[in-house]
Structure 1
Amino acid sequence: MNPDPRTENDDFARARARLIEEIERELIETRAYLKTDHIDPRVLDAIARVPRERFVPPDMRQHAYRNQPLPIGNGQTISQPYIVAVMSDLLQLPAAGGRVYELGTGSAYQAAVLGAMGAEVYSVEIQPELAARAEALLAELGFGRVHVRAGDGYLGWPQAAPFDAIIITAAGPEVPQPLVDQLKTGGRLVMPLGPSGGAQTLVVLVKQPDGTLAQRELLPVRFVPITRDPIDS
């Protein structure tokens, strides 16, 4: 027997509400790292509205609102909602949403959250299958301001630059210089910095007038590594 869609939707709505409560509790627990337990209300509102169950494989939907990363296939994961919330908040998007670049579309959940906050998002995914799946899902859900293409995300999206903010949803040992070049002065870049399989730290970097980056280290994290196209790298 198939579940009643109305009942299922109500269950997911309640699960999203519980997830928001979990995120708020974890923000309090990690305020020593973040130096605050306040988060932009737009972030929590977006997480409350984006249907995370649509961004995970069908057999994982019952787990969609657990506050943890989940596998999405192709060796990739959908990030823990708390981390999505923190990274979205650290971007400090302008009131109108601004223009954001994302390296690593993955499931497109992070891009959808930013889109729900009003941002125009340009996201690049190295795996064509994931990029196509993300593009189709975002179109189906009405995220017309979130743009996805397949390619080497390390190189950015120069045609859409400069960006108000840049988010990197995979770990690397260094900040990609092409992305620094595409970031506005005063703009923020948020990424997990560190080697694959080693110690990684979530950092926020602010581009200075002379082109250098002011860096602040926050949380210990663990992300999949940035994948490069061997032809472009």
Structure 2
Amino acid sequence: MNQTLQGIGMTSRRTRERMINRLSEQGIISNKVLDVMRNTPRHIFMDEALASRAYEDTALPIGHNQTISQPYIVAKMTELLLERGPLENVLEIGTGCGYQTAILAQLVDRVYSVERILALQRKAKGHLWELKLKNVSYLHSDGGWGWPDYAPFDGILVSAAPSEVPEMLLQQMAVGGVMVIPIGKCGSQELQRITRTENSYEFEKVEPVSFVPFLSGRE
């Protein structure tokens, strides 16, 4: 691993290890999730001016009024998605800077990632290429439409908060599939896990969260 990926000082392996210890203390128990986050250089996904804060437990701006989620939220959503077993094809709504995408790509067979802001998508592609993660497909589109060409999905992870679950995303879940999504307006959002059954959907409320709003259209 080159020096940029390895990190120095506040982006070093030691700093990353402190993040992992904190995640364990916060209740993340999946060793697979913890190992992937330990080995993924979060600092390369943000501007150099903010890289020294990459391993703090906070969301940070990535431009275009978007953020990279705090490490705990990335770990928690990933753990919830994978808790019931391995997944083959996962739809990610909101590529953003690509950090969550990179975590998923190391834990599932295939990631289909949708981003409405083209400039963010291009940067994310570069980061994942640098990490040699090649099991990701990208689509510049409105996230509310999902990606019907590759449905149904075993898992769906949504990294922006709609006021209610987009109907097209529910329709693109496989039977037995899981969706992890924040729901609600700013100031009153809740992380939920949805499981599709043969005839219906089961909704499980997890914990309060704070995400950027789910917006329609493309930029």
- Fold conserved (TM > 0.5)? yes
Confirm whether residue 162 of structure 1 aligns to residue 152 of structure 2: yes
Aligned to 2:51: 61
How far, CA to CA, are the matches of 1:113 and 1:43 in structure 2?
8
Aligned to 1:198: 187
Aligned-residue offset at 1:77: 0.3
Q: What letter is aligned with 1:200?
A: Q
Counting matched residue pairs gives 216
Secondary structure at the counterpart of residue 203 of structure 1? strand
Q: What letter is aligned with 2:20?
A: I
Larger radius of gyration: 1
Aligned to 1:90: 80
Aligned-residue offset at 1:42: 1.0
Secondary structure at the counterpart of residue 104 of structure 2? helix
Kindly tell me: are residues 15 and 160 of structure 1, through their superposed partners in 2, closer, same or farther at Cα, counting changes over 3 Å?
same
Q: Percent identity?
A: 37
How far, CA to CA, are the matches of 1:155 and 1:182 in structure 2?
10
Aligned to 2:117: 127
Kindly tell me: are residues 119 and 40 of structure 1, through their superposed partners in 2, closer, same or farther at Cα, counting changes over 3 Å?
farther
How far, CA to CA, are the matches of 1:218 and 1:5 in structure 2?
33
Aligned to 2:98: 108
Kindly tell me: are residues 83 and 11 of structure 1, through their superposed partners in 2, closer, same or farther at Cα, counting changes over 3 Å?
closer
Confirm whether residue 180 of structure 1 aligns to residue 167 of structure 2: no
Kindly tell me: are residues 130 and 214 of structure 1, through their superposed partners in 2, closer, same or farther at Cα, counting changes over 3 Å?
same
Please tell me the root mean square deviation across aligned C-alpha atoms, in Å. 2.1
**What TM-score results when the alignment is normalised by the length of structure 1?**
0.86
Residues 135 and 147, structure 1, Cα contact 8 Å, conserved in 2 = no
Kindly tell me: are residues 185 and 64 of structure 1, through their superposed partners in 2, closer, same or farther at Cα, counting changes over 3 Å?
same
Residues 161 and 182, structure 1, Cα contact 8 Å, conserved in 2 = yes
Give the unaligned 5+ runs of structure 1.
28-37
Give the unaligned 5+ runs of structure 2.
none
Secondary structure at the counterpart of residue 91 of structure 1? helix
Q: What letter is aligned with 2:152?
A: P
Aligned to 2:196: 207
The equivalent position to 1:73 in structure 2, one of 42, 49, 63, is: 63
Q: What letter is aligned with 2:48?
A: P
Q: What letter is aligned with 1:68?
A: T
Aligned-residue offset at 1:66: 0.5
**What TM-score results when the alignment is normalised by the length of structure 2?**
0.92
Aligned-residue offset at 1:11: 5.1
Aligned-residue offset at 1:118: 3.4
How far, CA to CA, are the matches of 1:98 and 1:215 in structure 2?
22
The equivalent position to 1:142 in structure 2, one of 119, 129, 132, is: 132
Aligned-residue offset at 1:221: 0.5
Q: What letter is aligned with 1:208?
A: T
Q: How does 1:46-57 map to 2 (within 5 A)?
A: 46-57=36-47
How far, CA to CA, are the matches of 2:152 and 2:87 in structure 1?
14
Q: What letter is aligned with 2:8?
A: E
